[in-house]
Amino acid sequence: MLHRKGFTELSKLLSEKKISSREIAESYIKRINETDNKINSYITFDEDRLIREAEISDSRRSAGKALSPFDGIPVAIKDNINTSGIKTTCASKILENFIPPFNAAAYEKLLEKGIIALGKTNLDEFAMGSSTENSYFGTSKNPYDTTRVPGGSSGGSAASVSAFMAPAALGSDTGGSIRQPAAFCGVTGIKPTYGRVSRYGLVAFASSLDQIGTFGRNVEDAASLLQMISGYDNRDSTSINKEVDIDAGKITRSVKGLKIGVPEEYFQGINSEIKERIERKIKELEKLGAEIKPISLRYTEYAIPVYYLIATAEASSNLARYDGVRYGFRADELKDLLSLYVKSRSQGFGKEVKRRIILGTFSLSSGYYDAYYLKALKGRTLIINDFKNAFSQVDAIISPVTTTTAFKIGEMTNDPLQMYMSDILTISANLAGIPALSVPAGLDSNGLPIGIQIMGNHFEEQKILNIAAAVEDTCDEISPSI
């Protein structure tokens, strides 16, 4: 039952020589082979490579040369994070057989600690979606109810951790793509401050919003993995040269004396069970010594249009490189260069990716740039100032992560605007570049997980991790029956 142990728990067992890395690998191979046919969380899973790398790790430990206390533990990697020698598909036909020649900076940092790539997890194509239904490799399913979505775009990573098919996982968050699936799947997921983790080797969707983060079965596991991947990288021009001050071993689990803001705008149009559960947790934090302060983030209602103008514009630019010329899918029966571009992109991209490219190209086009894209940038500044004002009054902000619990597969696929609205409580943190996380708050009456969102000021991950750990202590442990 090693697959049921958490990331830090496995580290302790390895350090005490009670288990081997090979035993961990074998436990996960068995679990994935038994379970993933019901969940579809992995796109690429190589048993032979996993065993081989586990044996190399065991040899290091036997020689007293372990690279870190976590040496030999496997971690799931979202399939838009480059892994040299392992396929990185972005869940798209256009990159179906792409094997990158270099590693992402975040994955490099894991390799330096001896961490093993357990496999590459499913996602919405190019991270564009909120349900993992936009994957070329099929929809992932929620471990609590396989008729429902696991969230997106990091649905495969969240589902793999939730269903005990990974002790922890890397994901990426452009508008809530870690926090929303973490909430839907009953795990902890954190998006760090923009610039905290290098984006080098993360396949770009919207460069000013994308950020790599982590999933864990608990707060300590998510924090430990985030601590490892954080730090300056001169290959990423947006990387911040700041000392890593995240320390999973120093999470205090205390909220005494902290001022926690509760934004009224985040509690409107919310499922009644979610609202009641979050309000109950806020009262419990108050009993633990936190000061609860009502606040207003008045530009929240503009977050969706601002986000979908900026994100699609950046996607339009970033995805221009997939043209069938140098790498990736190339269509057949081509007459000239134009037909190469048109056919390769038409056949290689899925419907949602095409929709966003078209929207972004339109908003950047002559005559529309000022009316749409430039106005969205001004709106983003107002949202940033909203948070600056809030953090001058409070230490952190608490809210729901989602307006509903996990919805049914297929429920929103024919209504993209309704799907976009499911991100309304998460995207502002990306627009402002602040850290935010989701921690489980229990189950609703249908047995579906509810998540609490905690947002902090720039580079105050440790503070929101402390609050999340305090929330965790007030909750019963949850897990799917699968």
Catalytic residues: 78, 153, 177
How many other C-beta atoms are found inside a 10 Å radius of the C-beta of residue 364? 17
**Structure tokens, 348:** 């290689």
Rounded (10°) angle between helices 303-318 and 351-364: 100
C-alpha 463/C-alpha 396 separation (Å) is: 8
Q: Are 172 and 154 in contact (CB under 8 A)?
A: yes
User: Strand order in 436-443's β-sheet?
Assistant: 42-44, 116-121, 74-78, 168-172, 212-216, 188-191, 436-443, 449-456, 396-400, 259-263, 291-295
C-alpha 454/C-alpha 374 separation (Å) is: 30
- The secondary structure of 125-183, three-state, reads HHHCCCCCCCCCCCCCCECCECCECCCCCCHHHHHHHHCCCCCEEEEECCCCCCHHHHH
Q: Using alpha carbons only, give the angle 118, 318, 192 rounded to the nearest 5 degrees.
A: 50
Find the DSSP H helices in 211-330: 219-229, 272-287, 303-318
Q: Which strand (E) or helix (H) includes residue 450? A: strand 449-456
Q: What is the CA radius of gyration of the chain?
A: 21
Exposure of 414 in the CB half-sphere (CA atoms within 13 A) = 2
Q: In whole angstroms, how far apart are CA 160 and each of 43, 51, 66, 168, 188?
A: 11, 19, 26, 8, 12
Q: Are 438 and 223 in contact (CB under 8 A)?
A: no
Q: In whole angstroms, how far apart are CA 214 and each of 73, 238, 283?
A: 15, 19, 28
Q: Using CA of residue 337, residue 338, residue 343, residue 349, what is the dihedral sign? A: positive
Q: Are 371 and 235 in contact (CB under 8 A)?
A: no
Closest CA to 143 of 171, 173, 106, 181: 181
Rounded (10°) angle between helices 375-391 and 303-318: 120
Say which residue the tokens 């790398």 belong to.
53
Say which residue the tokens 């985040």 belong to.
266
